[in-house]
Structure 1
Amino acid sequence: MGIHDLESFITAMKEKNKACFTGEGLDGKRTASFVTWRNDLLQFSLDKQGTVERLLNGQKHSFDNYPII
């Protein structure tokens, strides 16, 4: 990946996540997307009714009891 220090990591992640927020699409959702350094795609969407959708690589995921390390 060519990452040798924090600055290289920051540059690489910025490149992967240039357009991480989307406006309302045809489905009426607002979505935030993030590609991890391992190329996993995290997506969080909210529709006009307040329904939240959480996806990890396109599959529904609850993120309950998710540890931050």
Structure 2
Amino acid sequence: MTEDEMRKRLAALMIEHRDLDAAIDALSTADSKDQLQIARLKKRKLRLKDQISIIEDYLTPDIIA
């Protein structure tokens, strides 16, 4: 995977993470409050955050001070 592809993947993951956040907020304020669905979305959001962190760490060079 090239650096450009990684940056595109990172952008897509960040958008999906933001969308999940909005979905979780919408479900939390809904009358039915499907706790199982909310829990699944939160788990997915955490997995996305881990993937985002891995890509960001790879793209950010280590600076030796």
Question: TM-score when scaled to structure 1?
Answer: 0.30
Question: TM-score when scaled to structure 2?
Answer: 0.31
Give the structure with higher Rg (CA): 2
Q: Which has the higher helix share?
A: 2
Compare relative contact order (CA 8 Å, sep 6+) and give the higher one, 1 or 2.
2
Q: Which has the higher strand share?
A: 1
